[in-house]
Amino acid sequence: MILREEVAVDLATPTGLMRTYMFRPAAEGKYPAVVLFSEIFQATGPIRRFAAFIAGHGYIVAVPEVYHELEPLGTVLAYDQAGSDKGNADKYAKPLSSYDSDARALLDHLKALDDCTGRLGAIGICLGGHLAFRAAMNHDVQATVCFYATDIHSHSLGLGKQDDSLARASEIKGELLHIWGRQDPHVPLAGRDIIKARLEEVGANFQWLEVNGAHAFMRDEGPRYDPEATDQAFADMIARRKAAMARHESREGNPPPPPPGAAGPGGI
């Protein structure tokens, strides 16, 4: 499935304009939509390539600049120590409520698009994995994928480092997939166990995949990149999303979606 040219739009949020990069299939039709929340470096090359990968499987994808209140529009932080320091500083300078209002603005924008089926999902990487987890608390988010989500187990996202993400885990009603690298020092085994136990406690509809990889094993720049682990994670994500789509269609009594290019997929 080929794609249209990437487009940037500036969405209104309660805390100012948020530049958002849109990726979508070229074929006419209606498609489910997902928000792809980036790591701390914002819309880098690897994030844009991942967005294109998702869109190529039949989705409208929106990639927001998560630090739009703190950095000039269009800012991309470098994959170096200075970029890491700045990204982490911004992560803890932004109020939790602003992350949440950003997610709501993105979901409302996607739902209103003429070429969106109305089915919504969220995907996130690192910081973005945590943001996707919180976006999933919106009941119109039907499926969410979190790649090595940071700060959930430590309750430390946002200004004041006192988030309530695990406390609110019962609000996640859609399907949830967590993917982790076992050699990730930012979310060690003990941290992963805390998250998994809480999801079990609240009866969340979740699935869990761990691969032998470091933090950022999916980033196709730098020494941590593991193509084999990435292929495994991507294949699992796509297979589970297709299964979720089939379940939604079956529950609603709809026929299977037509082939790509006729009309877009019918589920998330």
Per residue in 218-241, pLDDT tens?
Answer: 999 999 999 999 898 888 888 876
From 178, 184, 226, 248, active-site residue: 184
The answer to whether residue 259 is domain-embedded is no
Distance CA 156, CA 158 (A): 7
Give the tokens for residue 261. 């290019």
Residue 254, pLDDT > 60, answer no
Catalytic site includes residue 178:
no
What is Dmax (Cα atoms) for the chain? 53
For the residues 138-155, what does the mean pLDDT come to?
97
The Cβ of residue 154 has, within 10 Å, a number of other Cβ atoms equal to 14
For the residues 90-108, what does the mean pLDDT come to?
98
Q: Where are the alpha helices (DSSP H) in 95-188?
A: 96-112, 127-135
Residue 266, pLDDT > 50, answer no
Amino acid identity of 62?
A
The answer to whether residue 221 is domain-embedded is yes
* CATH number, domain containing residue 36: 3.40.50.1820
The answer to whether residue 260 is domain-embedded is no
Confidence of residue 258 (pLDDT cuts 50, 70, 90): very low
The answer to whether residue 267 is domain-embedded is no
The Cβ of residue 200 has, within 10 Å, a number of other Cβ atoms equal to 10
Name the domain count of the chain.
Answer: 1
Spatial CB neighbours of 118, under 8 Å, sequence gap ≥ 6: 111
Query: Pairing relation of β-strands 60-64 and 31-37?
Result: parallel
Buried b (16+ CB within 10 A) or exposed e, 31-69: bbbbbbbbbbbbbbebbbebbebbbbbbbbbbbbbbbbb
From 178, 215, 226, 248, active-site residue: 215
The answer to whether residue 262 is domain-embedded is no
The answer to whether residue 81 is domain-embedded is yes
Catalytic site includes residue 215:
yes
The answer to whether residue 55 is domain-embedded is yes
Residue 267, pLDDT > 60, answer no
The answer to whether residue 266 is domain-embedded is no
Cβ atoms of 121 and 141 closer than 8 Å: yes
From 102, 116, 126, 130, active-site residue: 126
Distance CA 138, CA 8 (A): 24
pTM score, whole prediction: 0.91
Range of the domain at 217: 7-252
Catalytic site includes residue 80:
no
Distance CA 149, CA 133 (A): 8
Give the tokens for residue 206. 């979740």
Confidence of residue 105 (pLDDT cuts 50, 70, 90): very high
Listed residue (166, 239, 229) closest to 207, CA to CA? 239
